[in-house]
Structure 1
Amino acid sequence: MADEPCHVCDAASARYRCPACRVARYCSVACYKSHTATGCAPTAPVADDQRGTADAARSLGAEPSEWVLLTDADRALIERSEEVQGALRSRELRDIIRDLAGKPCQALADALERNQHLVDFTDTLLRTISFEAGRAAKDRT
């Protein structure tokens, strides 16, 4: 997406994507160096097996009792939801999500305490997949 602004300086059009976190986009070597110097965290590759998923979740600070794995049906519901798509039109929300990508679970918890927009979006996601509190990941497969 050539029109996306630089994640660091927000001034120039971002032409490159960070190879480590694969989330941040930047316009120059100077912005890349600034991004990596401020705590760029490599994203864990998506694993097909449960062990890989467990390792990835643990690396972000999540314990197995906290996991909620989305099914293909859940992802399809989210993808088709007009309410979710509408919320994602907000640049503020996209920036928050981009900033949280690959960070420990505690960063999400902190962001949820500070940002009502993120809380509303999270509620929308949970409503979209008809999530019930206390439902374990193994019950969702």
Structure 2
Amino acid sequence: MSKQRNCKVCQEAVSKYKCPVCFTPYCSLPCYKLHKAQPCYKEEPLLPESPKIAQPLRPFEEGDDESGMRLPRSKLEAVVASDEIRHALKDERLQAIVRRIDSCLSPEKDLDDAMQVPEFREFADKILAVIDPERHSPSLLH
């Protein structure tokens, strides 16, 4: 048994329809047109903010990078913008390897181990080709 609602536009007739955007009930095409004369929007439920866990900075994340080991922002943005890299990251096995390297205490060793996995080595080559295209052109990679 459904609950009958009145049209929110004319306030008289029983609504048969709902606006696909904001779900306002309306009864007819004239009421729908009147409703759409004003912009409507879908109300998003207010969700409580999830608590943010503060993770201590790792040495390579602290302060200025005098060692030259950190990529400049422009190169990081190029990696993020690469469709080829984003496509590669859809692979769950590759995601697991990257997560393991990112969360371990000895990332250098895990990175060396990961380089033995062909999919990860190919992924690393793609990243290198984006951040240093002159030294890692496709013809030099294999």
Which has the larger helix fraction? Answer: 1
Larger RCO: Structure 1 or Structure 2 (Cα < 8 Å, ≥ 6 residues apart)?
1
TM, length-normalised to structure 2 = 0.48
Bigger-Rg structure (1/2): 2
TM, length-normalised to structure 1 = 0.48
